[in-house]
Amino acid sequence: MGAPVLFTHPSSLLHDTGAHPERAARLVAIERELERRPELVLDRRESPPAGRELLEAVHDPRYVAAIEAFCAAGGGSLDPDTVAVPASWGAALHAAGGTAALVDVLCSGEADCGFAIHRPPGHHAERATAMGFCLFDNIAVAAQRALDAHGLERVLVLDWDVHHGNGTNDIFHASDRVLFMSIHQWPLYPGTGLEDDEGAGPGLGFTVNVPVPGGSGDETFVSAVEHLAASLAREWGAQLVLVSAGYDAHLDDPLAGCHVTDAGFDAMVRIVRALAAEIDVPLGLVLEGGYDLDVVSRCVADALGILGSEPAMPEPVEMHPLVAAARTRLAQRWPALAQTPAGG
């Protein structure tokens, strides 16, 4: 077991959003926290820029060109939440490229786990729309890379950011090769992600949305990861697990109203780490939101520590009623979900 791979790039700091919760200080705080933990052994890599073909595998080419032109012309507001400056173009290229490069390292067997930490984040960016602080959907670019360049057929993308990952949901809506599962507060921005959105066409059943009420905490989120995401990964035979790791479901986050604690995030990382080891597939985490600097820096550093440790499934947690209901609802397509899991 080697050290976890960590992809970053200095251009992430140049995406200047002004007075905005999604700010460069988030990544500065993470780097400071990593310096405070010399026991963390990391395999650090510099993120390459994404080539056009990587972006255009999931985004409309006209949209990619429009973002480039918008940044080159000085930038401004793309929507009420999403701003860009000239340097945002380079930051966005390295964010998508670094996340895809993480998948390359994982799929080539060079490493079994890693984290891609960049700005701007990605999971709200749709095929042809920037929104929610996101320009390109980094994790979608990376998942598509796994299919196109590494011949994978089954990629699980788990999104535990407190907001629905509408971009990833949109991009893979009709795909049966990417199973997208999101747990998110609802109602909350962006307002999508109700449980009856289960994908379309050949992708029907491969979009799994688990909206949860404000105030939901560890007992809901950890249960959903253990009793739903892990069960789906096993039953489907996922070949790669990617996580849209946002930290804005934390109790102390200023943007949302969920109550996940540090221990809850640690447990979710432990579960996906142990799951990946159990089914013998690589695991990649991708930073999305998380706007309290102390929370995001602590929890990211914790995650890297867990990725660098021997995988161990934590003690089972009780199945939350919302998760039990989701299993019942999904059992028609995923028969294993009809069974009560051990320890459930």
Residues known to be catalytic = 124
Nearest-approach distance from CB 61 to Zn ion, in angstroms: 27
User: Nearer to Zn ion by C-beta: 12 or 239?
Assistant: 12
What are residue 126's phi and psi, to 5 degrees? Answer: -90, 180
Nearest-approach distance from CB 132 to Zn ion, in angstroms: 7
Q: How far is residue 212's CA from residue 217's CA, in Å, rounded to a whole number?
A: 10
DSSP one-letter string for 282-320: -EEEEE-----HHHHHHHHHHHHHHHTSPP-PPPPPPPP
What lies within 8 Å, CB to CB, of 237 at 6+ separation is 154, 279
Residue 20 CB-half CA count within 13 A: 18
Q: How far is residue 320's CA from residue 220's CA, in Å, rounded to a whole number?
A: 6
User: Nearer to Zn ion by C-beta: 282 or 289?
Assistant: 289
Residue 242 is given by DSSP the state E
Contact 280, 91 (CB under 8 A): no
Interface contacts to Zn ion, rule CB under 5 A: 161, 163, 246, 248, 289
Task: Calculate the alpha carbon distances from 185 to 95, 126, 244, 256, 262 in Å.
Answer: 25, 19, 15, 8, 18
Nearest-approach distance from CB 189 to Zn ion, in angstroms: 8
Q: How far is residue 226's CA from residue 16's CA, in Å, rounded to a whole number?
A: 37
Nearest-approach distance from CB 38 to Zn ion, in angstroms: 30
Nearest-approach distance from CB 184 to Zn ion, in angstroms: 8
User: Nearer to Zn ion by C-beta: 81 or 161?
Assistant: 161
Pick the closest to residue 133 from 120, 143, 145 (CA basis): 120
User: Nearer to Zn ion by C-beta: 246 or 284?
Assistant: 246
Nearest-approach distance from CB 124 to Zn ion, in angstroms: 8
Any idea what the Cα angle at residue 7 is, between residues 50 and 230, rounded to 5°? 100
Nearest-approach distance from CB 156 to Zn ion, in angstroms: 19
Q: Is the dihedral of CA 114, 301, 249, 274 positive or negative?
A: positive
Distance between terminal CA atoms of the chain?
30
User: Nearer to Zn ion by C-beta: 161 or 219?
Assistant: 161
User: Nearer to Zn ion by C-beta: 193 or 284?
Assistant: 193
Residue 194 is given by DSSP the state -
Residue 306: Cβ-neighbour burial (10 angstroms; 0-12, 13-18, 19+)? buried
DSSP one-letter string for 8-26: E-GGGGG---SS-SS-THH
User: Nearer to Zn ion by C-beta: 119 or 163?
Assistant: 163
